[in-house]
């Protein structure tokens, strides 16, 4: 299979940049800064879908826990077969999580399904100022955002380290854009 947009090379480079952010104190400070920036967005009421960090992803859990204390419901994704949209289940940080399809922790089957989060905190490998994100290539978030946006409004907030910014993310027509990008250094509203 060919890679006309050069995404495979971009993914390797972006992963190396993100993996190089190895200092636990820098990572923890970044997660807290992102927590505060996300809380300051003035998010619409409703549930916020987040993610459990995989590898060197920025840890969105401090933001999710804080949003929960502010009265938002919070949910984590459950990965189905490749090529499908994500399912979100209510997440209580005090309840045990289980390892899912890719070894990523997720809420157990007994947790309620959250059918339409109003906000998604989206992980990524790289982003540009046009709101394009580079993911892992399975298309989970593109399919999920497409499905959710067809059903009603949803804000897609990319959360990342500032070092993950690139000049241009290779993108295709089916790639869903972010509405906001939040790093430890800034909050960027895309297209506004």
The CATH number given to whatever domain includes residue 96 is 3.40.50.10420
2 belongs to a structural domain = no
Looking at the structure of the chain, the number of domains it has is: 1
59 belongs to a structural domain = yes
39 belongs to a structural domain = yes
Long-range interactions of 105-111: CB distance < 8 A, separation 24+: 105/52, 105/76, 106/52, 106/76, 106/77, 106/78, 106/79, 107/75, 107/76, 107/78
Domain that residue 148 falls in = 7-189
**Residues sharing a CB contact under 8 Å with residue 119, sequence separation 6 or more, in sequence order:** 43, 44, 46, 47, 48, 49, 154, 155, 157
pLDDT of residue 2: 47
pLDDT higher than 70, residue 160:
yes
1 belongs to a structural domain = no
d(CA 157, CA 127): 11
| Inter-residue contact 157 to 180 (CB < 8 Å) | yes
Q: pLDDT exceeding 70 applies to what percent of the chain?
A: 97
What global pTM score does this model have?
0.94
70-119: pLDDT as tens digits: 999 999 999 888 889 999 999 999 999 999 988 999 999 999 999 999 99
Question: Which of the four pLDDT bands, split at 50, 70 and 90, describes residue 139?
Answer: confident
34 belongs to a structural domain = yes
171 belongs to a structural domain = yes
């Amino acid at each position: 299979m060919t890679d006309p947009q050069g995404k495979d090379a971009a993914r390797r480079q972006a992963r190396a940049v993100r993996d190089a952010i190895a200092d636990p104190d820098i990572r923890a400070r970044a997660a807290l800064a992102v927590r505060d920036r996300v809380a300051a967005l003035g998010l619409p009421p409703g549930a916020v879908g987040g993610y459990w960090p995989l590898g060197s992803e920025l840890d969105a859990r401090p933001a999710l826990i804080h949003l929960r204390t502010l009265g938002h419901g919070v949910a984590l994704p459950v990965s189905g077969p490749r090529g499908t949209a994500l399912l979100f289940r209510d997440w209580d940080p005090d309840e045990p999580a289980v390892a899912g399809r890719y070894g990523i922790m997720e809420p157990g089957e007994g947790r309620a399904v959250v059918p339409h989060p109003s906000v998604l905190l989206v992980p990524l490998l790289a982003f540009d100022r046009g709101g394009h994100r580079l993911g892992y290539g399975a298309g989970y978030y593109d399919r999920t955002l497409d499905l959710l946006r067809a059903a009603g409004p949803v804000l897609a907030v990319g959360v990342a380290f500032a070092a993950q910014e690139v000049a241009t993310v290779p993108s295709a027509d089916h790639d869903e854009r972010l509405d906001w990008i939040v790093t430890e250094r800034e909050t960027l509203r895309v297209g506004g």
